[in-house]
Amino acid sequence: MQKLYCDTCQRFLADRLVEGSCPFPDCNYDSARGDQCDKCQKLLNPTELKDPRCKVCKTTPRIRDTDHLFLELPLLKDKLEEYINEMSVAGSWSQNAIQATNAWLREGLRQRCITRDLKWGVPVPHEKYKDKVFYVWFDAPIGYISITACYTSEWEKWWKNPKNVELYQFMGKDNVPFHTVMFPSTLLGTGESWTLMKTISVTEYLNYEGGLELYDCSGTIEK
């Protein structure tokens, strides 16, 4: 695939180190990130941004080729839509979660890159990709399971027991596609019986003095 490389910083740029204008004509938000536009909620690839700039040095990055691993979302379309249609009703998903998920599905599922050219993160256990790490929004939800496994050897009583366990999640709306599309697809793709999210409750953004404020899980603020 093609990624943005900053010659000044001498590195491939992580998605959140790239900003530019949203490529969708009905939006054109001028502070869209390399992975997502926080105004229109569409997921992006960094090379899709108009007038991209490195957030570190403010220079314009260039496009370079690099090999990565992808999640084959198109192959999971039927299973994913069946899960969403059933669970959004049974779990009474909040309306903004349903809207964000359906908007993403209407655009069509595409292969989604799950690795990054970074030095920090969870390394990929494959010789060909040993200099890469997993993309945080592929890896982080898996952490829900692994932290349970670190707590108890009986973790499967929670995570592989869909008939007796219900999973509820609460988050800001910028995280919706990763929990209603990406994470369920990862679990469905294994072909095993996982406990999938039943209910998702989603908060709106906080608008402060005419600007958009986002709060991540650690409580820090991103403008």
Question: Alpha-carbon Rg of the chain, whole angstroms?
Answer: 18
Average pLDDT over residues 39-51: 89
pLDDT score for 42: 84
Would you list the domain boundaries of the chain? 1-66, 69-109+151-222
Q: Alpha-carbon dihedral of residues 143, 113, 63, 54, nearest 10 degrees?
A: -30
pLDDT of residue 208: 67
Q: How far apart are CA 65 and CA 47, in angstroms?
A: 11
164: number of Cβ within 10 Å: 8
Could you tell me the pLDDT band of residue 44, with boundaries at 50, 70 and 90?
A: confident
Tell me the pLDDT tens digit for each residue of 95-139. 999 999 998 898 889 999 999 988 889 999 999 999 899 998 899
CA 116/CA 95 separation, integer angstroms? 32
Q: Report pLDDT digits (tens) over 56-65.
A: 999 999 999 9
Tokens of 11: 């590195």
Compute the distance between CA of residue 24 and CA of residue 91 in angstroms, rounded to an integer.
32
Burial class (CB in 10 A: 0-12, 13-18, 19+), 175: buried
The CATH class given to the 1-66 domain equals: mainly beta
Which residues on neighbouring strands pair with residue 170, listed in sequence order?
A: 201
- For 15-29, what is the mean pLDDT? 92
Length of the chain as a residue count: 223
Q: Measure the CA–CA gap between 155 and 150, rounded to whole angstroms.
A: 8
